[in-house]
Amino acid sequence: MLLKDLASAWGVTGQEGEVRAILKKEIGPYVDEIRRDGLNSMIAVKNGRADLPKVMICAHMDEVGFLITEIHRDGTLGFESLGRIDLKVDASKTIYIGKNRIHGVIRTGRSYRESYIDIGARSSEEAGKHVRVGDGAIFTTRFEDFGDGRIKSKALDDRTGCGVLAETLKNHYEMPVYGVFSVQEEIGERGAFAAAGLVRPDIGIVLEGTVCSNVSVVEPYRHSTSLGEGPAISIADRTSHFDLELSRAACKLAEKNGVPFQRRRITGGGNDGGAIHTAGSGARCITISVPCRYIHSPICETSMEDFRNTIRLVDLFLKEIESGRIGA
């Protein structure tokens, strides 16, 4: 299953090769060209009519994780997060470190500086045989079914987006479509800045796995999105105020075609849209997301029906662009 393969792959920020390889194999037969830019984002090109808008659809390959910063004399490891991970969710979690996936367990102090990873080594010499400063680390969470129609996994932000994009690229559209699997989103949308500068789209569609908080201990007005209520169409976040007409068009399209949908009801966070809409002389940009509970933690949860409905909505939206009913 593609989503399972993607979510289970190694892809900490800056080390997205395994994810890229899976995606390249999956989409290769359906695109005209696959490029890699200078930062290693993968750009899948589907040629199209020059009189139609150039569309860039973007999902990021990297996941939040850790970086080993120090090997202590007693064999424990100093580390920091790559991407924002609240220290509270790290306590006693197990991780894989480096290419050899050395098993470690996190012990937390009051800050990352006061926390450490134990890999069972008794000295820095022993630890140094297995890990190095600069090695990345990911959570060991397995992808599994979780209740009825739901799954749990690490890295659903943004392997859900990658999965939606991969499925979308299997369809034919008349306009030029650039499917960008970006890198380094979690540390400031860096891959998207570079890729959008290359592509210079007319329209940008960002696909994300986004926050979801419809649980009883959270007041209803703070529910960012709700699991099981369909793809979430963003209004604004810290890096973008999304194109009003495109966002409204996406909502109307979902309603008209019986696709459940919702608005992303917070304006916190940010995504590759911040880079795409300000690329060059600008692009009209929206974000459509799969709601995922507990993102930026070891275990995220999503609804497979939300995932499938996001694929449906993106396809409908692209067909509107193809028809000329949505323009540049």
Partner 1 sequence: MNEVLKRLCKSYGPPANTKAVAAIIEKEISPFVDEICIDKLGNLIAHKKGLGKKVWIGAAMDQPCMIVTYAPDNGRLKFSVEGILDLRPLSESEVVFEDGSVGTLLPEHESAGGESRDYYIRLSDGGRAGIGDVAVLKGSYSENGALLSSALHQRAGCSCLIDVIKSIPAEAPGNFCFAFTSHSVAEARGAKTASFDFRPDIAVSIGTSPADHRIHPGFGPVLHMRDPASVTHPDLVAAFENAASRIHIQLQREVASHGFSLISGVVKNGFNLKTASVCLPVAGYQTPDEAADSGDLKDLSALIIGAISLF
Which residues are part of the catalytic machinery? Answer: 185
213 binds partner 1 (CB under 8 A): no
Q: For residues 136 and 242, give the distance between their C-alpha atoms in angstroms, rounded to a whole number.
A: 33
326 binds partner 1 (CB under 8 A): no
Tell me the three state secondary structure of residue 122: coil
Tell me the window of 32-40, 94-102, 113-121, 232-240 that interacts with partner 1 (CB under 8 A). 232-240
- Give whichever of 13 and 225 is closer to partner 1, judged by the CB atom: 225
Q: Are 221 and 69 within 8 A, CB to CB?
A: no
Tell me the window of 97-105, 112-120, 136-144, 258-266 that interacts with partner 1 (CB under 8 A). 258-266
The answer to whether the Cα torsion of 21, 183, 113, 268 is positive or negative is negative
325 binds partner 1 (CB under 8 A): no
Q: For residues 271 and 185, give the distance between their C-alpha atoms in angstroms, rounded to a whole number.
A: 7
322 binds partner 1 (CB under 8 A): no
Shortest CB 283 distance to partner 1, Å: 6
Binding-site member from 122, 244, 252, 324 for partner 1 (CB under 8 A):
244
Residue in the structure block whose two tokens are 């911040």: 274
108 binds partner 1 (CB under 8 A): no
Looking at residue 32, its amino acid is: D
Omega within 30 of 0 (cis) for the link into 148: no
Q: For residues 149 and 185, give the distance between their C-alpha atoms in angstroms, rounded to a whole number.
A: 28
Tell me the three state secondary structure of residue 289: strand
Binding-site member from 54, 284, 293, 312 for partner 1 (CB under 8 A):
284
Q: Are 148 and 108 within 8 A, CB to CB?
A: no
Binding-site member from 4, 35, 103, 265 for partner 1 (CB under 8 A):
265
Shortest CB 201 distance to partner 1, Å: 10
Q: For residues 37 and 194, give the distance between their C-alpha atoms in angstroms, rounded to a whole number.
A: 8
- Give whichever of 134 and 197 is closer to partner 1, judged by the CB atom: 197
198 binds partner 1 (CB under 8 A): no
Binding-site member from 130, 277, 293, 296 for partner 1 (CB under 8 A):
277
- Give whichever of 145 and 245 is closer to partner 1, judged by the CB atom: 245
Q: In Å, how far from its chain's centre is CA 119?
A: 29
Q: Are 20 and 26 within 8 A, CB to CB?
A: no
202 binds partner 1 (CB under 8 A): yes
242 binds partner 1 (CB under 8 A): yes
- Give whichever of 89 and 235 is closer to partner 1, judged by the CB atom: 235
Q: Residue 57: which of 48, 69, 70, 68 has the closest Cα? A: 48
**List of residues contacting partner 1 (CB under 8 A):** 202, 220-223, 235-236, 238, 240-244, 247, 263, 265-268, 277-284, 328
